[in-house]
Structure 1
Amino acid sequence: MGRKKIAIIGAGNVGATTAHWLVSKELGDVVLIDVEEGMPGGKALDLLEASPVEGFDCMVTGSNDYREIDGADVVVVTAGIARKPGMSRDDLVKTNAKIVENVTREAVKYAPDAIFIIVSNPLDVMCNVALEASGLPKNRVFGQSGVLDSARFRTFIAMELGVSVEDVSAFVLGGHGDDMVPLVRFSYAGNIPIEMLMSREQIDRIVERTRKGGAEIVNLLKKGSAYFAPAASTAKMVEAVLKDKKRIMPTAVYLEGEYGISGLYFGVPAIIGENGVEKVIEIPLTSDEQIALEKSSRAVEKTLKVLKSSV
C-alpha cells in the first residue's frame, strides 16, 4: 500500500511548518511546491536531514514542478501573500484569488483524486475560488480556519483560568475574520462551562482577543503573519483525512441551506474523514448566536462580492 502522499502548495512559513508537523507525526511523504526557484527543495532537504535526529521515516521533497505531486492523497494550499500590519484579510482577496485559482488548476491535473484543504486568506472566499477552479465535489474542498480559531480561544481560556489547555474545549463558528463567532455556551474547562468559572467581562475580553488573534500576531511580527498554530491546525485536519478519524472539527465548508446560509464557504462543525467533509452538524442556536452568525456570513458575502466585481 505504501505511505500516503501529501502535497503542500506554497512553501513559505505556513507550508514549511505544516510539513514539519506532518512528518513529525509520520503521516506520509511530503512534497513542497513553490514558484521560488530552489527554495522548496532547500526547505525540504533541511527538514529531511532532521529525520535521523527525530526518527521519522518520511520522504520530504521540494520542487517548482507540479508533476512531483502526482497521485497525492491530500493537497494543502497555503500559497498567497501574507498579511502586513494594517491589512485586513480582505485586502488580500484579489491577489490571492489569482494565485489560488492557478495553483488549484495545476494541482488537480496531477492529483485528481485528492482532498484539497485550503489555508490561504481570506480563507472562506479562497475556498470558493478553489472549488470552482478544481471542479471537484464540495466534500473534497474545504478550509482550515475554525481549528485555528478554536485553538486560539482555548489558549486564552486556559491562560485566564491558569489550567491545562488539555482540559479546555471550545469552538468557533463563522467566517475567518473579525466577525467570527466563538460559542461561549459550548466552551468548557474540565467539563465545566466557562460561564461558571469566569465573569462576563473576562469572557468578552477573551472573545474579542480570539477575533483579533491573527492581527495581534501580525502586529507583533511586523513582517509576515502567524504560522506555527495555523500549520499545526492544518496538520490536524490532514491527519483526520488520512487516518479516517471522523473528527468533529469546525471547518470552512460549502453550505447549501445549513444554518440558513447558501452558496458560501463558512465555518461550521463537520465530521472530517477519508472522504473529506462527511457530514455538516447543525446545532440549535440562540437568537443572539444566530444574529452574530448572520453578521459573519454577511462579511463573507461582502468579500465574495468584492472578488466577483473584480473579475
Structure 2
Amino acid sequence: MSLRRAKISIVGAGNVGATCAHWCAAAELGDVVLLDIPQTEDMPRGKALDLMQASPIMGFDSNVIGTNSYDDVAGSDVIVVTAGIPRKPGMSRDDLLNTNARIVTAVGTEIKNCAPDAIVIVVSNPLDAMVQQMWKVTGFPPERVCGQAGVLDTARYRTFLAMELGVSVEDISALLMGGHGDTMVPIPSCTSVGGIPITQLISSERLEEIVDRTRKGGAEIVQLLKTGSAYYAPAAACAQMVEAIVRDKKRVIPAAAYCDSQYNVGGYYVGVPVVMGSGGIEKVIELDLTEKEQGDFRRSVEAVKSLVATMDGLLSS
C-alpha cells in the first residue's frame, strides 16, 4: 500500500498565505506549495526555504516549496486562495470588489485546469462574493468550494468575550452567521462560557458593543498596522479548516457555504455552521433561530446578494 502526505497549495504568498503555510507545515498537515504571481519572482521560494530551515528547530517534516507556476499545484488535495489586494486604511472590504473578483476569476480558471479534484478554501475579500465567483468559475460541486470567514469572526468574538470576562478563550463557545462584514449576525442562543449562557454573564447592551467591535475587528487592525491588514488570526483560521479536511475531523465550524433551500437562501454562499471533513462541506447545519436572529440573518443574506449582483455587473462591463 502506498501512502502519501496531503498536498496543500496556498495561492498568494503574502502575509496571510505565508503565515498559513507556517501553521500548516508546523502542524504537519501535509506538504505545502506556496505560489505567487510571476511578478513576485523568487519571493515565494525565499519564504518557503526560510520555513523549511525552521523545520529542524521546530521538529516538523512537512516539505515546503515556493513557486510561480501552477504546474506545482497539480494534484493538490486542498487549495487555500489568499490572492488579491489587501485592505488599506479607509477601505472597506467592498472597495476591493472589482480588482479581487478579476484576480479570483483568473485563479479559479487555473485551479480548474490543474487541480480538478481539490477542495478550495477562499480567503480573498470581500469574502462572500469571492467564494461565489470561485464556485462559478471552477464549476466544482458546491461542497468543494467554501470560504474562510466564520472561524476568524468567531475567534475574534471569543477573544473579546474572554477579555471582557477574564476567562480562558478555551471555555467560550460562540457562533456568528451571515456575511463577513458589518452585517454578520451573532447567535446569542449558541454562545456560552463553560456551558453557561452568555446572557447570564453579560448584559445585552454590553454584548452588542462586543459584537460591534467584532464586526469591525479587521478594520481595527488595519488602522493599527497602517500598512497592511490582519494575518496571524486569518491564517490560523485557514489552517484549522485545512486540518478538518486533511484529517477528516468532522469539525462543526462556521464557514461560507453554499445554501439553496437551507435557510431559504436561494443559491448563495453565506456564513453558516457546517460539518467539515474530507469531503469539504459535508453538511450545513440548520438552526432554529429566534425571530430577531432570523431577521438579522435575512438582512445579511440580502447584503451578500447585492454584493454578488454588483460584482457580476462589474465583471460583465
Q: Do residues 54 (structure 1) and 58 (structure 2) align?
A: yes
1:73 equivalent in structure 2: 77
TM-score, with length taken from structure 2: 0.97
2:126 equivalent in structure 1: 122
Q: Distance in 1 between matches of 2:172 and 2:278?
A: 27
CA deviations on 1:94-137 (whole Å, 9 max, x unpaired) are 10011011011112222111100101000010011100111110
5+ residue gaps, structure 2: none
Q: Distance in 2 between matches of 1:16 and 1:226?
A: 13
Q: Distance in 2 between matches of 1:107 and 1:7?
A: 10
1:33 equivalent in structure 2: 35
Runs of 4+ in 1 over 6 A off after TM superposition: none
Map residues 193-232 of structure 1 onto 2, 5 A cutoff.
193-232=197-236
SS at the partner of 1:282?
Answer: coil
1:6 equivalent in structure 2: 8
Q: Do residues 149 (structure 1) and 149 (structure 2) align?
A: no
TM-score, with length taken from structure 1: 0.99
Q: Distance in 2 between matches of 1:182 and 1:19?
A: 30
Q: Answer yes or no: is the 8 Å Cα contact 1:243–1:274 preserved in 2.
A: yes
- Please provide the CA RMSD for this pair: 0.8
Code of the aligned partner of 2:282: E
Query: Paired residue for 1:234, among 235, 238, 256?
Result: 238
5+ residue gaps, structure 1: none
1:190 equivalent in structure 2: 194
Identity over aligned residues, as a percent?
A: 57
Q: Distance in 2 between matches of 1:74 and 1:251?
A: 15
How many Å apart are 1:178 and its aligned residue? Answer: 0.5
SS at the partner of 2:86?
Answer: coil
Report the number of matched residues. 311
Q: Distance in 2 between matches of 1:251 and 1:76?
A: 14
Q: Distance in 2 between matches of 1:204 and 1:142?
A: 28
Q: Do residues 166 (structure 1) and 173 (structure 2) align?
A: no
Map residues 211-290 of structure 1 onto 2, 5 A cutoff.
211-290=215-294
Q: Do residues 179 (structure 1) and 183 (structure 2) align?
A: yes
SS at the partner of 2:267?
Answer: strand
CA deviations on 1:113-166 (whole Å, 9 max, x unpaired) are 110010100001001110011111000000010000000000000000000001
SS at the partner of 1:298?
Answer: helix
Q: Distance in 2 between matches of 1:219 and 1:197?
A: 30
CA deviations on 1:215-265 (whole Å, 9 max, x unpaired) are 111111111111000000000000000001111110101111211211211
SS at the partner of 1:49?
Answer: helix
Q: Do residues 296 (structure 1) and 303 (structure 2) align?
A: no
SS at the partner of 2:255?
Answer: strand
How many Å apart are 1:2 and its aligned residue? Answer: 1.4
Q: Do residues 15 (structure 1) and 17 (structure 2) align?
A: yes
Code of the aligned partner of 2:18: A
Q: Distance in 2 between matches of 1:235 and 1:258?
A: 26
Q: Distance in 1 between matches of 2:189 and 2:224?
A: 31
Code of the aligned partner of 2:58: E
1:110 equivalent in structure 2: 114
Q: Distance in 2 between matches of 1:69 and 1:198?
A: 47
SS at the partner of 1:266?
Answer: strand
CA deviations on 1:141-197 (whole Å, 9 max, x unpaired) are 000100000000000000000000011110110000111001122111111011101
Q: Distance in 1 between matches of 2:222 and 2:303?
A: 21
Q: Distance in 2 between matches of 1:108 and 1:221?
A: 35
How many Å apart are 1:208 and its aligned residue? Answer: 0.6
Q: Do residues 63 (structure 1) and 71 (structure 2) align?
A: no
